[in-house]
Amino acid sequence: MKEKVVLAYSGGLDTTALIPWLKENFDYEVICCCVNCGQGNELDGLEERAKLCGASKLYIEDVIDEFCEDYIMPCVQAGAVYEHKYLLGTSMARPVIAKKLVEIARKENASAICHGATGKGNDQIRFELTIKALAPDLKIIAPWRMTDVWKMQSRQDEIEYCKAHGIHLPFDASHSYSRDRNLWHISHEGLELENPSQAPNYDDMLVLSVTPQHAPDQETAVTMTFEAGVPVSLNGKAMKVSEIIAELNRLGGENGIGIVDIVENRVVGMKSRGVYETPGGTILMEAHEQLEELILDRETLEMKKKLGSQFAQIVYEGKWFTPLREAIQAFVASTQQYVTGEAKLVLYKGNIIKAGTTSDYSLYNESLASFTTGELYDHHDASGFITLFGLPLKVRAMKMAEVKNKAK
């Protein structure tokens, strides 16, 4: 009986060429697994294509709700943003995909998992760290790093390889952006983006959005309610998280929200440039942060921001299934107990404008915050506070003056 390999299958040219390549070079029975994180019509025709190329079976696993509830929302609640801009769309999806690959490998009694990530990117790390954490006994096949066996270096090479194996597919060698899409975002790399001095060709690039210049000259109102840090309704309609994100993608995309052009530092040591469209995610994170401003005390908010930055790096580096991620997430979860209320926003030509926030757990006290004197605040108390708060500065200044006088 042949050994089985589970192939992370997207239906694109790379993973399509991998099916005959795995059979030819390793004599594996190839079982394809496509994990649906919200790729939309990219899933059309996959089963026929996989079987045509020689796969014995194709699994299409729908994990959209799991992705939203167990991966996206912890990152939203943590305020996890990598290098101030990237909302981790690809990074969050890889661990749930790899987890599902492991589950299928166990179900099929496979001995290996294969992925098509390149040797220069972050995804190879994210896939493989998850597999190592969940199934350390499984072999991992990464063809793009196996240069002694994997001889293909271009799309044309892959097309010719498929043709030589009797596989004629609807792919051509014309270049296009390298894209990754799920419910949270779509990323774009390649072409003019490889030169940081060039502006992105947004007219040809954008999929979910329009640029702010092409957004309508009118405001779009958004009202979101949260319970314990989780969105539960949008514009008065109760929805699950995945439905809220999908609708926010539509509203945000129409209004030019969430388009980011970033040069980021990859885990493998190089800088890369990409454009990310995250319209719904950008709105959701802004609404959540808007609510937290009212509810969390200063010290908790400060600590949460520090840990949120670390959480983003952990996720970016593919370390989802680690004790540190679990520990930080546990802290964040404890801060969300009272993040309940309503956030109102206005979308306008790429901007998200606050339009009011309410919560039964708000720490904002009008009596304290008002310029008029309230019952809870005595202006005279500030004198003693400033004296003690500024004491280290005063002592240091006195000491420096003393030293200066001695030197005269």
Find the catalytic residue in 10, 14, 181, 273: 14
Whole-angstrom distance, CA of residue 77 vs CA of residue 287: 11
Contacts of 224 (CB under 8 A, 6+ apart): 231, 233, 234, 235, 244, 284, 287, 342, 343, 345
**Strand ranges for 216-310 from DSSP E:** 220-227, 230-234, 237-238, 259-265, 271-277
Residue 179: active-site member: no
Nearest to 349 by CA among 221, 208, 202, 213: 213
Please report, as a single letter, which amino acid is at residue 341: G
Q: Residues 84, 90, 93, 99: is their CA dihedral positive or negative?
A: negative
Determine if residue 199 is left, alpha or beta; phi over 0 gives left, psi from -120 to 50 gives alpha, anything else beta: beta
Active site residue 94: yes
Measured CA distances, 215 to 46, 206, 261 (Å): 34, 13, 18
Catalytic residue among 10, 123, 180, 181: 123
Cβ pair 110, 102 in contact under 8 A: no
Distances (CA, A) of 318 to 38, 78, 83, 130: 20, 17, 16, 7
* Nearest to 344, CA basis, from 359, 355, 360: 355
Known catalytic residue at 178: yes
Among residues 307, 261, 257, which one has the least CA distance to residue 286?
257
Phi, psi at 81, each rounded to 5°: -135, 125
Two tokens at 146? 């196996």
| Per annotation, catalytic residue among 49, 91, 94, 325 | 94
Please say if 123 is a catalytic residue: yes
What is the rounded CA–CA span in Å between residue 35 and residue 96?
9
Instruction: From the candidates 56, 178, 233, 309, give the one annotated as an active-site residue.
Output: 178
CA-CA distance, 128 to 109, in Å (whole number)? Answer: 19
Known catalytic residues are: 14, 94, 123, 178
